[in-house]
Amino acid sequence: MVLVSHRYKFIFIKVNRTASTTIESFLQKFCLSEEEEKNYKPTEFNETIINEYGIISTRDPKKNNKGLRGHISLAELKLKFKNNFKDYKVITSIRNPFDMAVSSYEVNKSISKKNISFSEGLKFFTDRKTNIQYFTKS
């Protein structure tokens, strides 16, 4: 999921296993019109919204996300919209690497539904999609 607020000039880049869904839920309202922001109740958007106020992509891969997959990098975002967003602040979240590794192991263990080793469970953690530099590199 990606969030872009044209009114507040920020981009939220989501990084796996860093509480980014909670942060995203809070920031979504700032990607809407002033009226919608005032009446906003946290929700999961069923469809990607792209309008003059911002961009809110859906988390549901089965829905039309208009080419904005869940964890898109800043470089990919710039290419997709042919915009360098130079006046925008980039927001992301980070987490203690050890906590991230343990969380990754637990998630992979539950997904695989078998007893896997800690090193096998770290495959997700060592994937480039958990690397903060990958997401924020412009």
Phi, psi of 56 (to 5 degrees): -130, 115
Q: Which residue has the higher pLDDT, 127 or 44?
A: 44
Range 122-138 average pLDDT: 57
Euclidean distance between CA atoms 68 and 56, whole angstroms: 9
Tell me the Cα Rg of the chain. 16
Tell me what the pLDDT averaged over the chain comes to: 80
Percent residues over pLDDT 70 in the chain: 78
pLDDT in tens, 18-66: 788 888 889 999 999 999 999 988 776 667 888 999 998 877 666 666 7
Q: Which domain holds residue 83?
A: 2-91
75 and 13 within one domain: yes
pLDDT of residue 5: 95
* 91, amino acid identity: I
The number of distinct structural domains making up the chain is 2
Range 95-120 average pLDDT: 79
* 73, amino acid identity: S
Cβ-proximal residues to 28 (8 Å cutoff; 6+ apart), any chain: 3, 40, 42, 43, 45, 56
Is the pLDDT assigned to residue 119 strictly greater than 80? no
With beta carbons less than 8 A apart as the criterion, state whether 104 and 17 touch: yes
Q: Evaluate whether residue 137 is within a structural domain.
A: no
pTM: 0.74
Residue 69 neighbours by CB distance under 10 Å = 11
106 and 87 within one domain: no
Helix (H, G, I), strand (E, B) or coil at 135: helix
Percent residues over pLDDT 90 in the chain: 22
103 and 78 within one domain: no
